[in-house]
Structure 1
Amino acid sequence: MKKITAVLVLLFTFFVSLNMSAQDILQSKDLSTVKVDYLSDSDINKIKNQLDAKDLTIDDAEEAILSKGMSKSEFSKLKARLEEISRKDPKKKNSKDKDSKDKDSKDKDSNDKDSKDKDKNKKSEFGRKQQEIINNKIKDSLNALIFGSELFDNPTLNFEPDLKLATPMNYVLGPGDELQISVYGVQEFDDNIPVSVEGKITIQYVGQIAVSGMTIEAATQKIKAAIAKVYSTVRSGQSQVSVSLAQIRTIKVTIVGGKQPGNYSISSLATVYNALHLAGGPGKNGSYRNIELIRNNKVYRNVDIYKFLVKGDQSDNVSLKENDVIRIPAYSQRVTVEGEVKRPGIFEMKKGETFSDLLSFASGFNEFAYTASVNILQKTGKEFKVHDVNESEFSKYQPQSGDVVKVAKILNRFENRIQIEGAVFRPDYYSFTEGMRISELIIRAEGLKEDAYTKRARIIRLKSDLTTEIINVDLTKALEGDLNADVPLKREDIVTVYSILDFREEYKITIDGEVKNPGEYEYYENLTLNDLVVQVGGLTGSASKRVEVARMKKSDAINDNDPKRVDVFELEINEGNNEQIKNFALMPFDVINIRRLAVYEKPEMVKISGAISYPGKYVLANKKETVYNVVMRAGGLTSIANLDGMKIKRPIKEEQIEKLQSIDLNLTKEDTIREKRLAKKLKEELKYATIPVDWERIVKDKNHYSNVTLFPGDEIEVATYNEGVKVTGNVLLTSEIPYRRGKSFKYYLNAVGGVDNMGWKKKAYIIYPNGKAAVATSFLFFRSYPKVTPDSQIVVPEKPVTKKMTAGEWVGIGSVVSSLALLILTAFK
């Protein structure tokens, strides 16, 4: 009976061990008794689910399973059973494959992200992550003058902890942290394990380890000891254990008195400055120098931000812990600094600090500051008062709350300046020393120039009553060592050394006429006409041999018998070499005129175009070249020429427009505007004036007025015969109507549909091919229209805009007429 009982107990224990192994095969310490053949499909599914939960394959777990005593033959059976289960459940397999592909796709996409995700990638590339905290900063214009406020407005200064740095050994672990634990060597293991809310981590095959409240250094030793109990190679030193922070937890801190007070979730590596930056820094009346860090209901540290701002000292920037409170009290005293300091603004002062400390906060005086003393505007509780603090008191005076320190500018004057100007080699400002004399100053200025006037120099001196006086100095005697002449100088003296050139009159000479560069030139002694002609570039080709020199008359007495205002000299020059026969000496203010040759005209041309045998440019052969002569020289008119279509286009010269603009016709404002428009039109649009030519009359009579004398630049245009008549302007249809002999003006108007509602028919006119124009005329009730010829143009202008009389104006006229009628009736009674 005892044997049967023992066998039953052994079988029960065996099956129980099989069941336990199946339920938690990865966490079991001894797998040597596991028989895969006795495991049901349900047991295999449980093992598969365990592997899936750990995101492992059976191949990944092979080494760990074998290290726990399972034989290789049993492991092969287990692997085969798991593969068979996977084949029977293709849905799960496909899902897993899809998840794997999705994961690979996401990994690939994450590598291709743009620059916006670079910061996140940098945080994770070192194997450490932290929940990103976003805090948008708004520039505080209200408190911009308060020293230190800019520290919390700048989004680039966030004091965020650097996750790339090594984990501090005194870092205290807590719920939310995640540890990366690796075993490497003969045996390998790697996993990221979070710290649970109970403060424990659970390591596969090792079990749970309490780490909350421990430093990372102490936790590492504890974890290594626990792993060594399971992994034999760790005990023997064949494998090593590495523990590091993979993800940092978020802690809660409370900030009171900031611009944005409240509870903040921040990194467990965050410091006081990081939390203050998130809260926008101290509020309007918050202190920058007595910020309290409260931990466990006690003031753990007083933070003075000025240490960092002034000295770069971050000793107060301590790390934060869960449930820390940062309290920002109101400031005790503030002082305003204005004027010539490097950093004007509002500064917070502690008890016992002096003006020297305040000056260091403001970065000291700038280069224009008056440093001998400062002016302080104080408040007494009833009124204001002014207090001056001398330089010797800077380290003693303690500013009071509400003080306004004003640092003035230095005066725009010099304590040791002296100036020399004029005929010295280096005129400039020099430093003055007591007992300095004028000879010493001249030596400093590198001595006198050759043109210096040594008989007299001038000193302008500022007297004690701020008036000025002039002291004259004989430089010749002063430089020879005469102490009476070598005048002692004083501060702000201005010494002027005259030049003999200053006393000379500036002589000029004028040359005009046929020279290349006429104008006014400097006169020099012994200057001759030859010299001046060469200086101005010589004569032009049109210069004659006649030269006239006008010279001013000088005399101490008035001679009424001599009517001459100037003396005039008539000279002749040699045209070949620009030299005059007589080498004539010039005098100051002479006026020389080189006369032009009596006959010196370059060939000038006119142009002829259109229906002509030889169109082109022709030189005006004589002074009175007529239209007929040029047309005949051009071979005469062709067979297609319109005899009534010849005209001359003459360029409008600039002087003609200027004459029009210079004439004062005493016009009204409206007429003046029209005149300006006409001048502008002549200058910019109508570049030519048209002269009609009657060729048939010219052929019959060469003396006819149409046979005008041509001017240089004229252009003769001979129109080609055209049988059409153009009708333009305010007509219904702008068109060209074929010419019909004997048809009247009205015929062509009717042919284009007549005039439109804006057309002014009675003012219609015609332009003939030769440029001549004609308008409609009227006599009594009869209207006569001009004759129409081929190639002419009929123009119908627009009616002028007239103002209609209002009803009030008609009533006014009626009342006037009634009054006149009443007067007439009264007169005849």
Structure 2
Amino acid sequence: MKKIVTVLFILFALLQSSEIIAQDLLNVNDLSSIKVDNLSESDLMKIKTQLQSKNMTLDQAEPIALAKGMPAAEFAKLRARIDRPTLKETTSNIKQTNIGGDREQEKITNAKVKDTENSQIFGSELFDNPTLNFEPDLKLATPMNYILGPGDELQVSVYGVQEYNESIPVSVEGKITIQYVGQIAVSGISIEAATQKIKAAIARVYSTVSSGQSKVSVSLSRIRTIKITVVGGKQPGNYSVSSLATVYNALHLAGGPGKNGSYRNIELIRNNKVYRNVDIYNFLVKGDQSDNVSLKENDVIRIPAYSQRVTINGEVKRPGIFEMKKGETFAQLLNFASGFNEFAYTASVNVTQKTAKEFKVRDILEKDFNSYLPQSGDVFQVTKILNRFENRIKIEGAVFRPNFYSFTEGMRISDLIDLAEGLKEDAYTQRARIVRLKSDLSTEIINANLAAALSGDANADILLQREDIVTVYSVLDFREEYNITIAGEVKNPGEYTYLDNLTLNDLLVQAGGLTGSASKRVEIARMVKSDTIDDSNPNRIELINLELTPENNEQLKNYALMPFDVISIRRVAVYEKPQMVSISGAVVYPGSYVLENKKETIYNIVSRAGGLKDIANTHGVKIKRPLKADQVEQLQRVDLNLSLSDSSSVKSNEKLKNQLKYATIPVDWNKIEKDPTHYSNVTLFPGDQIEVAEFNEGVRVSGNVLLNSEIPYRKGKSFQYYLSSVGGVDAKGWKKKAYIIYPNGKADVTGSFLFFRSYPKVLPDSQIIVPEKPERKKLSAGEMGWIW
């Protein structure tokens, strides 16, 4: 007994370990006891799912499993079983499972072939569409009238006091075998009859069934496949289909009727007799599926050749080729084509017919649509209605509702004006224009007196015709648009529309009123009009001078203006707003100062700022004057007399474009202090910035030198001394073009005469700059030869 318990315990442990491993292969700490042979197909599927959820492959999982004690041989078995397709995977291509009722059916596949040759035939698209297959729905409840046969499978369940559940196939002999009950013949009877038969057989064995303590349930778990034959289709042949399949399902598999196949007279042959004639148009036109009957074993679907086809083109909703049965009329053909569209000419239809020798044309009138019988080969052409109107008339211009209106015989011009709700106030009533279309489609103009027509004059109230266009003029159309101009000291000078009785006060208010700088002088320039030329008077305009009150827009004398007048409001002689300059640096009171007069000099502003501080550098006083846009453009246009290949030319242009915003004016303060009338005591402009530098004993050396640095100032030392102090000029330095910038902004350059070179004097806080040698293009041998 102990041995049995031990064996059961070990078996339970193995099963538990397998269950744990199947649930989480990577998180189990000990895999030494794993036996891959004990894993079921569902366990393998769980392992696959786990690896996919972690985005891992077997190669990535192998070192983890071996580190947890799993034998290499067992992992090799695991790899082999996972790589081998399972039973479920190998059968998934031929079986389809119904999730709702676990009902299975062999899946029938058929590649669809697009029939471009017969795409115009009505109904052909039904069989070219792969999403339309008419397959039976396996999720539906078991049909009670379903006839069982070999290949079907029944799910028989007993539940209640006694329980039994088994899936039982119907054998080739047409029987099912139930344990302890025996064989029961079910082939050839309905599922409902088989259920009663099975219940009765089980009740004889299970006493609880006969007493009602247990119940019996019978359902169809697997549907058999039957063989049918399709003849005359695009893909004729023998097909294996579901026993629940219908005629349309089989026709779809076969691609529908062939090139010359009929859509109206398809024969379903059963037991060598025509069981039903199928007309697909019933489904296409009405949605009627009464012909879509279920198929049985060995059924034959025969698609004969069509008897007659006709074509309908043009203005119908569904043009194409249609098959007609004997006795069907053109009205029925029109129904197949879904009727005329919105632009069709419906009074008659043109048809081209074939005779034994040639073609002929015939017109089918609307009254004959229900009686005309189309013939095979007929081509019907439905044309468009004409782009013209049978009763249209139009009125435009100075009426309240210009538009198209319906024309009636006997309509006069007064009637049309009434339809347009009358004339506008600006209507010109002495003349109206009627543009009329003549019988030869040329046009003519007829003039009408509206005033007389509306007063009851029958002769003036002209009779209208279809397609007449009546134009009512407006008196505003004959008026010239006049303008008037105001310039000078108003807020919104410009051009304004002249209106009758316009006065100077009206125009001043419209222009936003007078500005504070307006003077009392007003000049009006007026156009001169005359029928004769006066050579003694050379004036082209008349000048009118007025005086107004600048403080008031409403003038006492409200002067009347004329079209095209030009009014000029003059500015007062003296109207200057306070203008500012600024001073910064080593002065006692830096800041902004108002220019007291037009001759304000730098000496005056420095004096008003408290004078220079003790730390001020008298050589470092300068003025920065803002440059205007036109001044920058002028500087950019200056010809620097440099070659296009010269790098300094490019750099100079960039500096002018991006950096130059101020003009620097150097000031010699020492001479100004001695003589305030010296030329350095310049007159200031609004916006000038005075800068007074603090004293600095250093001299800055920069540019193309070995070391950019600041050297202490030593009185009497030369320009060369400071260049030598920073290591001299580098390989790109242009020493002979070296220059110095003094603290006040003044610059000086190195000069030369014959073989002698003179260098500028150096002052404290100066800056010595060595520029770069220009990059010049070397001439080629060919260019040298051309020069010589």
TM-score range, shorter chain: 0.7 to 0.9
> How big is the shift at 1:419?
1.0
Question: Following the alignment from structure 2 to structure 1, what is the Cα–Cα distance between the partners of residues 135 and 224?
Answer: 14
Question: Following the alignment from structure 2 to structure 1, what is the Cα–Cα distance between the partners of residues 112 and 347?
Answer: 42
Partner in structure 2 of residue 232 of structure 1:
207
Alpha carbons of 1:715 and 1:216: their partners in 2 closer, same or farther (altered >3 Å)?
farther
RMSD: 5.0
Secondary structure in structure 2 of the residue aligned to 1:435: coil
Partner in structure 2 of residue 624 of structure 1:
599
Q: Counterpart amino acid of 2:684?
A: L
Which residue, 666, 674, 687 being the options, matches 1:713?
687
Matched, 1:243 2:218: yes
Question: Under a length normalisation based on structure 2, what TM-score does the superposition of the two structures give?
Answer: 0.75
Q: Counterpart amino acid of 1:546?
A: R
Alpha carbons of 1:88 and 1:135: their partners in 2 closer, same or farther (altered >3 Å)?
same
| Aligned residue runs from structure 1 range 133-144, under 5 A | none
> How big is the shift at 1:96?
5.9
Question: Following the alignment from structure 2 to structure 1, what is the Cα–Cα distance between the partners of residues 296 and 339?
Answer: 38
Partner in structure 2 of residue 218 of structure 1:
193
> How big is the shift at 1:744?
3.7
> How big is the shift at 1:171?
2.0
Which residue, 374, 385, 397 being the options, matches 1:422?
397
Partner in structure 2 of residue 49 of structure 1:
none
Alpha carbons of 1:336 and 1:318: their partners in 2 closer, same or farther (altered >3 Å)?
same
Structure with more helix by fraction: 1
Question: Following the alignment from structure 1 to structure 2, what is the Cα–Cα distance between the partners of residues 676 and 386?
Answer: 86
Question: Following the alignment from structure 2 to structure 1, what is the Cα–Cα distance between the partners of residues 694 and 128?
Answer: 85
Q: Counterpart amino acid of 2:201?
A: A
Question: Following the alignment from structure 1 to structure 2, what is the Cα–Cα distance between the partners of residues 260 and 750?
Answer: 103
Matched, 1:511 2:486: yes
Question: Following the alignment from structure 1 to structure 2, what is the Cα–Cα distance between the partners of residues 137 and 320?
Answer: 21
Which residue, 380, 385, 398 being the options, matches 2:374?
398
Partner in structure 1 of residue 711 of structure 2:
738
Partner in structure 1 of residue 67 of structure 2:
none
Matched, 1:443 2:418: yes
Alpha carbons of 1:477 and 1:766: their partners in 2 closer, same or farther (altered >3 Å)?
same
Partner in structure 2 of residue 89 of structure 1:
8
Alpha carbons of 1:236 and 1:466: their partners in 2 closer, same or farther (altered >3 Å)?
same
Secondary structure in structure 2 of the residue aligned to 1:124: coil
Native 8 Å contact 2:351 2:378 kept in 1: no
Alpha carbons of 1:275 and 1:578: their partners in 2 closer, same or farther (altered >3 Å)?
same
State the identity %. 67
Q: Counterpart amino acid of 2:517?
A: S
> How big is the shift at 1:486?
0.7
Question: Following the alignment from structure 1 to structure 2, what is the Cα–Cα distance between the partners of residues 340 and 679?
Answer: 72
The Cα offsets for residues 255-280 of structure 1, whole Å up to 9 and x where unpaired, read as 78878888776544344444555677
Question: Under a length normalisation based on structure 1, what TM-score does the superposition of the two structures give?
Answer: 0.72
| Aligned residue runs from structure 1 range 247-266, under 5 A | 247-249=222-224
Matched, 1:549 2:536: no
Secondary structure in structure 1 of the residue aligned to 2:219: strand
Q: Counterpart amino acid of 2:217?
A: S
Secondary structure in structure 1 of the residue aligned to 2:292: coil
> How big is the shift at 1:450?
2.1
| Aligned residue runs from structure 1 range 620-659, under 5 A | 620-638=595-613, 641=616, 643-656=618-631
Alpha carbons of 1:763 and 1:415: their partners in 2 closer, same or farther (altered >3 Å)?
farther
The Cα offsets for residues 102-123 of structure 1, whole Å up to 9 and x where unpaired, read as 9999799999999xxxxx9994
Question: Following the alignment from structure 2 to structure 1, what is the Cα–Cα distance between the partners of residues 742 and 354?
Answer: 98
> How big is the shift at 1:407?
4.9
In structure 1, the gaps of 5 or more residues are: 1-80, 115-119, 818-829
| Aligned residue runs from structure 1 range 383-394, under 5 A | 387=361, 389-392=363-366
Secondary structure in structure 2 of the residue aligned to 1:234: helix
Which residue, 449, 468, 476 being the options, matches 1:493?
468
Question: Following the alignment from structure 1 to structure 2, what is the Cα–Cα distance between the partners of residues 232 and 701?
Answer: 143
Native 8 Å contact 1:287 1:348 kept in 2: no
| Aligned residue runs from structure 1 range 191-202, under 5 A | 191-196=166-171, 199-202=174-177
Alpha carbons of 1:640 and 1:657: their partners in 2 closer, same or farther (altered >3 Å)?
same
Question: Following the alignment from structure 1 to structure 2, what is the Cα–Cα distance between the partners of residues 409 and 747?
Answer: 100
Native 8 Å contact 2:310 2:324 kept in 1: no
Which residue, 551, 559, 564 being the options, matches 1:576?
551
In structure 2, the gaps of 5 or more residues are: 25-41, 54-94
Alpha carbons of 1:682 and 1:743: their partners in 2 closer, same or farther (altered >3 Å)?
closer
Equivalent residue pairs, number: 718
Partner in structure 1 of residue 676 of structure 2:
702
Native 8 Å contact 1:626 1:708 kept in 2: yes
Native 8 Å contact 1:373 1:388 kept in 2: no
| Aligned residue runs from structure 1 range 407-806, under 5 A | 407-638=382-613, 641=616, 643-656=618-631, 686-719=660-693, 731=704, 735-738=708-711, 741=714, 742=717, 744=719, 748=723, 751=726, 754-755=729-730, 769-780=743-754, 790=765, 792=767, 794=769, 796-797=771-772, 799-802=774-777, 804-806=779-781
Alpha carbons of 1:411 and 1:530: their partners in 2 closer, same or farther (altered >3 Å)?
same
Alpha carbons of 1:502 and 1:740: their partners in 2 closer, same or farther (altered >3 Å)?
same
> How big is the shift at 1:297?
7.7
Partner in structure 2 of residue 50 of structure 1:
none
Alpha carbons of 1:399 and 1:550: their partners in 2 closer, same or farther (altered >3 Å)?
farther
Matched, 1:314 2:278: no
Secondary structure in structure 2 of the residue aligned to 1:89: helix
Alpha carbons of 1:292 and 1:555: their partners in 2 closer, same or farther (altered >3 Å)?
same
Judge which range, 580-589 or 304-313, deviates more: 304-313
Secondary structure in structure 1 of the residue aligned to 2:194: helix
Native 8 Å contact 1:288 1:304 kept in 2: yes
Native 8 Å contact 2:396 2:403 kept in 1: yes
Question: Following the alignment from structure 2 to structure 1, what is the Cα–Cα distance between the partners of residues 304 and 744?
Answer: 102
Question: Following the alignment from structure 2 to structure 1, what is the Cα–Cα distance between the partners of residues 275 and 702?
Answer: 101
Secondary structure in structure 1 of the residue aligned to 2:473: strand
